[in-house]
Amino acid sequence: DNMNFPNLQDLHCDSNQLTALPDNMNFPNLQYFNCFRNQLTALTNNMIFPNLIDFSCDSNQLTALPDNMNFPNLIDFSCNNNKLTALPDNMNFPNLQRFSCSDNKLTSLPDNMNFPNLHSFSCSDNKLTSLPDNMNFPNLKHFNCVDNKLTFLPDNMNFPNLKELYCSGNELTFLPDNINCPNLQELICDDNQLTTLPDNMHFPNLQELICYNNKLTSLPDNMNFPNLQRFDCYHNYLTFLPDNINCPNLQYFNCSSNQLTFLPDNMNFINLQYFDCNYNLLTSLPNMNLPNLLELYCSNNKLTSIPDNMNLPKLRRFNCSDNKLTSLPLCILNFKNLQVFTNCTVY
C-alpha cells in the first residue's frame, strides 16, 4: 500500500483488472501515469505527483474524481468513458493544455474551472444541459461538446484563439449573436434544432460550416466567409439561398433535401468542385459558370429543362435523374471531361 519510488517517472498499469489503487502513492518525480482500461471505481485521495504531466484514467468505472487533485504541472488529463456525474469544483491545473471528460454522465460543469493554458477541451457524449457562463480559456483552440442535451450556448463565448467549435447532436435552437472567435476555422453544429444562424457571424478564417439536419428556414443575408471551403446545409427547411453569398474559395456545397424552388443567378464560386442540390423543388437551374466544378447533382427536383450554355468545362459527374425533363440537355456536348451522366429520364 505504501509505494514510495522517489525516482519513478513513468507508471503504466493500463489494460488490467485493477479495482483499486494504493492509498498512499507518493511519487515526487512521476510524469506519466496511465491506469486506463481497468475496473477502478475510485481514485485515491493521496496521490502526490507534483511533477505529473500526463494522466489518463479512461475506461474505468469511476463515479467521481478526488476533490484535492493538485497537479501543478499537468498538461494532459483524460477521464473518458467512465460513470462520472460531476467534476470537482476546485480543479486548478494552471498548465493544463488538453482535457477530455467525454462519454460520462455529467449533467453540468464546474463554474470556476481555471485552465488559462487550455488548448483542447472535450466534454462530448454526456448529459450536459448547459455550459458555464464564465469559461475563461483564452488559449483554447478546440472545443467539443457534441452529443449532449444543450439547448443553448453561453452568450459571452470569448475564445479569441478558438479554431474548432463542435456542438453537433444537441438540442440547440439558436447560436449566440456575439460569439467572439475571430480565428474560428470549423463550426460544426449539425443535428440540432436550429431555426436560424446569427446574422453577424464574423469568422474571416472559417473553412468549414456544417449545419445539416436542423430546422433552418433561411440563411443570413450577409454570408461573408472568404476562406470557407465546405458548406453543408442539407436536410433543413430552406426555401431560398441568399443572393450575395461571398465564399470565393468554396469547394464543396451541399444544400440537398431542402425546399428550394430556385437557385441564385450569381453563384460566384469559382473554386467550387462539388455541388449537390438533390431533393428540392427546383423548376430550373441558373446558367452556371463554375470553371472548376467536377460533380453536379440535381436529381429529384421538378426540372423541366437544363440550360444549354452552362459553363462547366471540368465536369465529370452529372446526375439530373428523377425530374421532369422533356429533352436531353444540349450542354452535355460541351462537357468534354464528363465520365458519368446518370439516368436522365426524358418525359
Average pLDDT over residues 167-173: 98
Q: What is the mean pLDDT of the chain?
A: 93
Asked whether the predicted pLDDT for residue 135 surpasses 80, the reply is yes
Q: Which CATH class is domain 260-347?
A: alpha beta
Cβ pair 202, 223 in contact under 8 A:
no
- Using CA atoms, how far residue 69 sits from 31, 43, 59, 63, in Å, is 15, 10, 19, 15
Asked whether the predicted pLDDT for residue 2 surpasses 80, the reply is no
Measured distance CA(204)–CA(207) in Å, rounded? 9
For position 114, what pLDDT does the model report?
81
Residues of the chain by 3-state class (helix, strand, coil), percent to 5: 0, 20, 80
Asked whether the predicted pLDDT for residue 347 surpasses 70, the reply is no
Asked whether the predicted pLDDT for residue 152 surpasses 80, the reply is yes
Query: Is beta strand 208-210 parallel, antiparallel or unpaired with respect to 186-188?
Result: parallel
Average pLDDT over residues 216-245: 95
Average pLDDT over residues 238-252: 94
60: three-class secondary structure by DSSP: coil
Cβ pair 17, 40 in contact under 8 A:
no
- Comparison of pLDDT for 223 and 208, the residue scoring more: 208
Q: Give the pLDDT confidence of 42-55 residue by residue, as tens digits.
A: 998 888 899 999 99
- Comparison of pLDDT for 327 and 284, the residue scoring more: 284
For the chain, where are the alpha helices, taking DSSP H only?
none
Average pLDDT over residues 292-319: 94
User: What grid cell was written down for 291?
Assistant: 470553371
331: three-class secondary structure by DSSP: helix
Average pLDDT over residues 61-66: 96
User: What grid cell was written down for 325?
Assistant: 425533363
Confidence tier at 1 by pLDDT (50, 70, 90):
low
